[in-house]
Chain A
């Protein structure tokens, strides 16, 4: 009989399809896990609704759960309950080590352009806050492009959601 803890351990081994250094558990997108009569139910939130990795993540979770000998039931929760604040401290470290600046904390109001253009975002390479916004958008919906004027390195900044 599979336990909730075993399921969490198995899900912690699934890498994010776009940033494989971080796992789905590090990313905080797994909201809850329930086990009942051989069925494992996972509540899962997409980071961004248009994330193309959604199906890949769902299939990977289902596969791991089947490997544990249980029947998966993955529920996608399209609500506002996930925020980038749910990325774990370990996840943030892994992102920074790979050159991605982790997201700033979420505030009650949405971020503004003035905030994004301010000097509070830290370069993941040299730690300087002398960084500028190059593009609100980036290679995936969850990231912006910034440039560090201190070490002259472009980098990707996670958007706050």
Chain B
């Protein structure tokens, strides 16, 4: 079973990547969709970090923003900066499928807090899966989409121990406000 921290990192980083379509998606409705999906993923990351933080005597913010890029446990799939729509959809589809499987395992957890949170996350993810499936059905005959799936599928479970330069660039961006203030600053 994937650790909660790995799942939280996946959701945070994918949330940031999805939000990169805000304002520039190829269709207005997709601008709305990816912005909303991004918001959900970051919300899931926050709830998961809060659970992990309690066991590690830290806070969700510290877990999300105060680790060095090399300490994140996300997969290579989510850290890539994808500028092509077909790759974005391929990642979305692959990720949602894998996420559904691990959530189904977490729902069975003996820890009531973990199983309860996983069940709530899954209710929300059901809408992401619908969206991913809708796009999969639309693009499944397209050669560019199929090669994107082939290219990205192996990245689902790679790169958790060693990250690409792209994660460092994203980390610089996503922690810039936090790093501009000394620890303990109240927002």
Contacts and interface: CB of A to CB of B under 8 A. Distances in A.
Interface residues on A, range: 20 to 34
Contacts of B9: none
B40 A138 contact: no
A136 B50 CA distance: 28
A78 B120 contact: yes
Interface in B91-107: none
A96 B119 CA distance: 28
B46 A137 contact: no
A90 interface: no
A50 interface: yes
A38 B117 CA distance: 31
A48 B40 contact: yes
Contact of A141 (B47, B124, B133): B124
Interface residues of B, number: 31
**A contact patch SS:** loop
B76 interface: no
A88 interface: no
A13 to B, nearest CB: 27
Contact of B36 (A112, A113, A141): A141
B81 interface: no
Contacts of A139: 32
B86 interface: no
Given A78-B47, A134-B29, A135-B32, A159 B127 contact: yes
Contacts of A49: 40, 43-44, 46-47, 120-121, 124
B116 A136 contact: no
A116 interface: yes
Interface of A: 46, 48-52, 78-81, 110-113, 116, 134-141, 145, 159, 161
